[in-house]
Amino acid sequence: MKQFGGFIKTTGKDLWRAIARFPLTVLCLAGITAISCYVIYLRNTPPLILEKLALTFLVAAILAMAAQFAVENVSKLGTLRAAAHIVSAALAVGFFFLLRPAPRIGSEIGVRSAVAVFALICAILWLPSVNGRTDFNRVALTHFKAVFTSALYAAVLSGGIAAIISAVDILLFHVDSVVYRYMLSVVWILFAGVCDLSLLPEFGREEDAQREERAGKYPRFLEILISYIAIPLMGAYTVVLTAYFVKILITHKWPSGQLGPLILAYSAVGLVLLVLASLAQNRFAVWYRRLFPKALVPIVILQMVSVGIRLRAYGVTESRYYLALFGIFSLVIGVILSFRPVAGNRLIALLAAGFAVVSIIPPVDAFNVSRHSQISRLERILQAEGMLSGGVLTPKSSASEETKKETTSILSYLDGRAALDQLSWLPENFEIYEDMETTFGFASTYSGYDPNTKYSQLFLAPNEPLAISGYDVSTNLNSSRYDSDNRPVSFTVRDIAYRMSVSRISDQDARVSVQTADGTELVGTDLYSFSRTLIDTTPDSKSGLPAEQLTLDTEQNGYRLRVIFQSINVDSGSSGMNIDYSMTVLFGAP
């Protein structure tokens, strides 16, 4: 009991110390927690302003943390703690005002923010080793242990509180289930964040030397996990990639895009393992530190060749930009670590932060480079097709299928990034889904698209009343070409058990039936004959059809079945006709 009391006292002291050391970071974590709780209270889609505030608090929390480490480890900033936090707060406010005009938090804002946070985290890892008093590998290990420990504490705490709330709900009085969500927000955002901060010593400070040594001690469990499980798995993965490399050299067939993400994951995980294994002294760790950088270089060269082929064929996109950038980073790090193992590890964080910053600063950022690349590629395609000359676009209905597909793909890409206005030769207020055919001479065309495919739909008019007199049961059923059979609906009428089901017969037809409990059919009907007659004789209606026109009745041995179609969706092309059904089915027993 005395030891438990001492643990609580020490933990509480460390938490208060973290709050005093990282006040702005803790304030931002509290802000994120408050927003999370308010969104839970709303039980609806949060307003856009809250999303922007939450993102601002996240960036500000990491920025303030980096500022504190800079003050602690850069001698010239030692007396400027207040100024550093004021600058951090000012930058956070500026970030919010940059976000404020945005109509939504799209992919560009999300990626830029994520990359900025990643760069700040790299700076947090690198700064304690800037003066040479602290080993970078020990700093990284300390952060890794802090994250793992705080997550473990949060898991235990949230599980315990959840059990208490559940007991109160069962034994004493009702507790709304939303309380669990409030609790998880507070524990996993505020408590876990502050707990992580409390486990970080002031690196290089004599007064905190004992705490730093304890925090940077290499656990036996981690040594086993890294050295005897993770490293052998990485070795096996390296063998697979090497074998694939040999296969490419023999067959001269390059992969079509799947290699980049595999090698990116290999490089990222391998470098993290390299840092975590740098303090271990067993044979597996020593050999891994020696061999991984040398194995990384040829594998990354393979990735770069693969990415280069994709860039020449399809131009730059954000994903290819980051694949290429990470490939260059991995290649540089691999060469450095081949000559300076362990000692060069601190450059991993420094170079990663540098490359990340470059990727979000115009005009060489991922989004600007990608937009300009795709615009240039689109213009080359249209010029080769004879559709674009002297800045004037000429519609061409006879353009090749490849031109149609590539044009549609690039325009969709640019439209998703609000970049169509950068095409000076496009009409003003061009809408890709409405103006494509009049502007380019052909409709939007996608890969796998059959130009002979025609679509039609018949559907029930909105708010149409349904006649149900004389029937005992009503249910909604659906039948799609992708569903072989739907689960039957069981019900009883006057204490007799029945089952209603819809079974797919072909791409066009389905059968609705009612059976006894043992599966004997009592009444049923196929749908295709009725629906085909309806399709052939009824023009498409934007306002829908009356229920009488969409009703199919059948009767057998006194059992009545009525099918009222909610919608009939048809597509026909070179591969044939497909029909999907959505319907309300009524059943009456004698």
User: Do 469 and 518 sit in the same domain of this protein?
Assistant: yes
The verdict on residue 366 lying in a domain is no
For position 60, what pLDDT does the model report? 94
The verdict on residue 374 lying in a domain is no
Is the alpha carbon torsion for 217, 222, 228, 232 positive or negative? negative
Beta strands in 364-437 (DSSP E): 388-389, 392-393
For position 537, what pLDDT does the model report? 82
User: Do 161 and 256 sit in the same domain of this protein?
Assistant: no
Average pLDDT over residues 78-107: 85
User: Do 178 and 58 sit in the same domain of this protein?
Assistant: yes
User: Do 228 and 258 sit in the same domain of this protein?
Assistant: yes
Beta bridge pairs of residue 511: 503, 526
User: Do 186 and 225 sit in the same domain of this protein?
Assistant: no
CA nearest to 511, candidates 561, 472, 570: 561
CA nearest to 581, candidates 529, 538, 543: 529
Pair of tokens at residue 354: 């540098």
Question: What is the pLDDT of the chain when averaged over all its residues?
Answer: 87
User: Do 493 and 567 sit in the same domain of this protein?
Assistant: yes
The verdict on residue 372 lying in a domain is no
For position 498, what pLDDT does the model report? 94
User: Do 303 and 393 sit in the same domain of this protein?
Assistant: no
For residue 251, what is the enclosing H or E element?
A: helix 231-251
User: Do 131 and 243 sit in the same domain of this protein?
Assistant: no
Give the DSSP per-residue string, 311-340.
HHHH---HHHHHHHHHHHHHHHHHHHHHHS
For position 375, what pLDDT does the model report? 92
Tens of pLDDT along 122-132? 999 998 888 77
Q: Which domain holds residue 423?
A: 382-440
The verdict on residue 369 lying in a domain is no
The verdict on residue 146 lying in a domain is yes
The verdict on residue 450 lying in a domain is no
Tens of pLDDT along 311-323? 888 899 998 999 9
User: Do 228 and 285 sit in the same domain of this protein?
Assistant: yes
**pLDDT over 70 (residue 408):** yes
User: Do 173 and 246 sit in the same domain of this protein?
Assistant: no
Give the number of domains in the chain: 4
**pLDDT over 90 (residue 254):** no
- Tell me the three state secondary structure of residue 553: strand
Tens of pLDDT along 157-169? 999 999 999 999 8
User: Do 62 and 177 sit in the same domain of this protein?
Assistant: yes
Q: What is the pTM of this model?
A: 0.73
The verdict on residue 582 lying in a domain is yes
User: Do 139 and 265 sit in the same domain of this protein?
Assistant: no
Average pLDDT over residues 151-156: 94
Res. 258 pLDDT band, cuts 50 70 90:
low
Average pLDDT over residues 355-360: 92
Res. 11 pLDDT band, cuts 50 70 90:
confident
Amino acid identity, position 90 = A
For position 416, what pLDDT does the model report? 84
Write a three-state SS string for 170-225. HHCCCCCCHHHHHHHHHHHHHHHHHHHHHCCCCCCCHHHHHHHHHHCCCCHHHHHH
Tens of pLDDT along 376-390? 999 999 999 889 888
